[in-house]
């Protein structure tokens, strides 16, 4: 990204550029690409602003939405609930419960 080359990864403009591009990818159905950008933006935002900063929480919100949408598109958790968590490093863990199946969980990041 040009912002990262000129300003560095933890600058506000770079973090928000990643967030905005991830939002576009989400709307285009490019969920994996959106997740990758959001993971980087989240890691940088936490380092720069802290875990409770409004920008960081906004990134977490979109990250959860992208993961939820992708899982539902893949047919996972469509009849049940999806629980998603992000740890301090930005790694994601998701668990879902289908009405007809036992709990299943996985993680990535």
pLDDT in tens, 64-96: 889 888 888 887 755 566 676 766 665 666 666
Q: Would you list the domain boundaries of the chain? A: 2-78
pLDDT of 59 > 90? The answer is yes
- Report whether pLDDT(103) > 60: no
10-34 confidence digits (pLDDT tens): 688 889 999 999 999 999 999 999 9
Structure token pair of residue 52: 């409770």
CB 109 within 8 A of CB 91: yes
Are the CB atoms for 26 and 46 separated by under 8 Å?
Answer: no
Per-residue pLDDT at 98 exceeds 70: no
- Kindly state the helix (H) or strand (E) to which residue 48 belongs, with its residue range: helix 31-49
Domain 2-78 = CATH 1.25.40? yes
Q: Calculate helix-pair angle for 12-28, 31-49, nearest 10 degrees.
A: 160
Q: What pLDDT was estimated at residue 74?
A: 83
């Amino acid at each position: 990204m040009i912002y990262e080359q000129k300003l560095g990864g933890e600058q506000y403009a770079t973090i928000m550029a990643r967030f905005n591009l991830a939002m576009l990818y989400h709307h285009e159905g490019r969920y994996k690409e959106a997740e990758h950008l959001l993971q980087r933006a989240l890691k940088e935002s936490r380092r720069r602003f802290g875990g409770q900063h409004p920008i960081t929480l906004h990134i977490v919100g979109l990250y959860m939405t992208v993961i939820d949408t992708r899982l539902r598109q893949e047919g996972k958790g469509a009849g049940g609930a999806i629980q998603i968590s992000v740890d301090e490093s930005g790694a994601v863990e998701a668990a879902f419960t289908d009405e007809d199946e036992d709990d299943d969980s996985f993680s990535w990041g």
